[in-house]
Amino acid sequence: MSPGLTLDAAREADAADPMSCWRGEFHFPDGPGGRPATYLCGNSLGLQPRQVVAEVARVLADWQRLAVLGHHGGDAHWLTYQDTLAPPLGRLLGAAPEEVTAMASLTINLHLLMASFYRPTRGRYAILVEAGAFPSDRYAMAAQLRHHGLDPEVALVQVAPRAGEDCLREEDVEAAIGREGDRLALVLMPGVQYLTGQAPDLGRLCRAAHAAGARFGLDLAHAIGNVPLSLHDWGVDFAVWCSYKYLNGGPGATAGLFVHSRHHDADLPRLAGWYGNELKTRFRFAEGFVPERGAAGWQVSNGPILGMAPLTASLAQFDAAGLDALVARSRRLTGYLEALLDARLGEVVEVLTPREPQRRGAQLSLRSRKGRDASRALFDRLIAAGVVCDWREPGIIRLAPAPLYNSFEDCWRCVEAMRQA
């Protein structure tokens, strides 16, 4: 049940919520009048956990104290640092630790995995994506097609929402998969659509792709740490993500990839690097490449320890709070924000994001009913009032009440600022 629509009711809901304690574990940017900003932009960059400073300082102290010995001796464990991130990442992904590794950036990881999982033939070569996919995914898909001598205008199949609708229907994706049939090599979908906040039924789409003989991959940039995931049980072939949004890993944080265990013993081609070689023979510097078993076999270079340290601190928070509890709180916060928008601004703005809680995460995307310019004026008013959110063309305002650090009062203040516009 949502709190009442007054400021006092929002504050009472925060005071009664045991999960509110996590808010104090984050640094907030300053807003007007010396009070913290109302930060609803965790879908773009998560806030800094307070424990990050200590974790980064520990790595710096190890570097100062041990130098190169931090890799091979002492208690720093740099050689296997990325392996310590696999278990907590796996718990967020619904994956075994050996199916997960932290490395590189999302788009680099996408290219690396496509070298293994996109193997076009003369008859089976098409890639199916959502129309309006995040540009990085579209650029990567087009680049891969050209790399294989294929024309994206022919081989890149884009499925769009129906006329007058903002969100893609699963049955339309299934129909497109059926139409492409034997020429379809790969289906790549978002875990959460970046513009609308829609969370598709990924298990359903994975089954449809496999039934057509295609591989199924995911971009989880807006999904990991935000919505429940079951990559292993769904049978997803591969997935990639970044760590600076809901995972609060910091700007440009080390990203990650998932490879389903059924592929771990397959003789797949890969763009190999020495950190993907099995650890027990890595430092023999031998001629032949012997991949580490599991997702770690797709590693290329030694991991950026300073880049992974903030993620270590953040993942400890996710483990302590529990994803189920965070998802439940996310649905309460997002539902409350939705109720405020409907009650106070229903004639002014329309929400694009699905209304069903299980079909979205911690995001509501909205626009003015008067068009793009009115949406932009509304966004500018929010920023001036100390509400940090983001703007995406064509005329979309995205609000993300992240459950680890946002509050019911944040939701109330956001809508109140829009009412004053």
Q: Residues of 29-54 as b/e, b for ≥16 C-beta within 10 angstroms?
A: eebeeeeebbbbbbbbbbbbbebbee
Of residues 294 and 73, more confidently modeled: 294
32 in a domain, yes or no? yes
Domain boundary among 290, 319, 348: 319
At 299, list the tokens: 């590693």
Whether residue 2 lies inside any domain: the answer is: no
Q: Are 123 and 183 in contact (CB under 8 A)?
A: yes
pLDDT of residue 315: 98
Residue 125 resides in a domain: yes
The answer to whether 280 touches 77, Cβ cutoff 8 Å, is no
Same domain, 296 and 412: no
State the distance between the two ends of the chain, measured CA to CA, in whole angstroms. Answer: 29
Q: What share of the chain is helix, strand, coil (3-state, %, to 5)?
A: 45, 15, 40
DSSP string, 330-342: HHHHHHHHHHHHH
pLDDT at 273 over 90: yes
pLDDT of residue 28: 97
Provide mean pLDDT across the span 78-84: 94
Provide, rounded to the nearest whole percent, the portion of the chain with pLDDT above 90. 94
Residues 359 and 260 occupy one common structural domain: no
What is the distance between the alpha carbons of residues 239 and 191, in angstroms, rounded to a whole number?
Answer: 9
Domain check: are 298 and 342 in the same one?
no
Per-residue pLDDT tens over the stretch 86-107: 999 999 999 999 999 999 999 9
- Whole-number pLDDT of residue 107: 98
Picking from 277, 292, 319, the residue at the C-terminal end of a domain is 319
347 lies in the same domain as 394? yes
Same domain, 170 and 75: yes
Is 47 part of a structural domain of the chain? no
Which tens digits make up the pLDDT trace of 393-413?
Answer: 999 999 999 999 999 999 999
Q: Domain of 272: which CATH number?
A: 3.40.640.10
74 has a pLDDT exceeding 70: no
Is the same domain home to 293 and 326? no
Comparing CA positions, the residue from 130, 239, 244, 249 lying closest to residue 193 is 130
Boundaries of domain holding 332: 7-36+322-419
Q: How far apart are the C-alpha atoms of 266 and 305, rounded to whole Å?
A: 30
Q: What is the mean pLDDT of the chain?
A: 96
Q: Which two tokens stand for residue 79?
A: 């050689």
The per-residue pLDDT for 77 is 87
pLDDT per position as a tens digit, 216-265:
999 999 999 999 999 999 999 999 999 999 999 999 999 999 999 999 99
Does 286 score more than 90 pLDDT? no
Q: Does residue 123 have a pLDDT over 70?
A: yes
305 in a domain, yes or no? yes
Last residue of a domain, one of 263, 293, 319: 319
Give the bridge partners for 388, in sequence order. Answer: 39
Residue in the structure block whose two tokens are 């129906």: 162
- State the DSSP string of 349-411: EEE-S-SSGGGB-S-EEEEETT-HHHHHHHHHHHHHTTEE-EEETTTEEEEB--TTT--HHHH
For residues 362 and 43, is the Cβ–Cβ distance under 8 A? Answer: yes
> CA–CA separation, 166 vs 195, rounded Å?
9
Tell me: do 346 and 233 sit in the same domain. no
Q: Which token pair is 148?
A: 């294989």
Task: Determine, yes or no, domain membership for 31.
Answer: yes
Q: Are residues 229 and 128 in the same domain?
A: yes
d(CA 192, CA 201): 10
132 vs 106, 170, 344, CA distance in Å?
A: 18, 16, 31
As a whole number of angstroms, the distance between CA 330 and CA 167 comes to: 21
**Which CATH number belongs to the domain containing residue 350 in this structure?**
3.90.1150.10
Average pLDDT of the residues in 263-270:
94
Do 224 and 260 fall into the same domain? yes
**What are the residues whose beta carbons fall under 8 Å from the beta carbon of 394, sequence distance 6 or more?**
372
pLDDT number for residue 253: 96
Whether the pTM exceeds 0.85: the reply is yes
Q: Where does the pLDDT of residue 1 fall: very low under 50, low under 70, confident under 90, or very high at 90 and above?
A: low
Total of domains in the chain: 2
The answer to whether residues 294 and 414 belong to one domain is no
Per-residue pLDDT band at 4 (split at 50, 70, 90): confident
Residue 18: strand, helix, or coil: helix
Cα distance between residue 264 and residue 295, in whole Å: 7
Residues 367 and 297 in one domain: no
327-344 residue pLDDT tens: 999 999 999 999 999 999
Q: What pLDDT shows up at residue 384?
A: 95
Does the pLDDT at position 73 exceed 90?
A: no
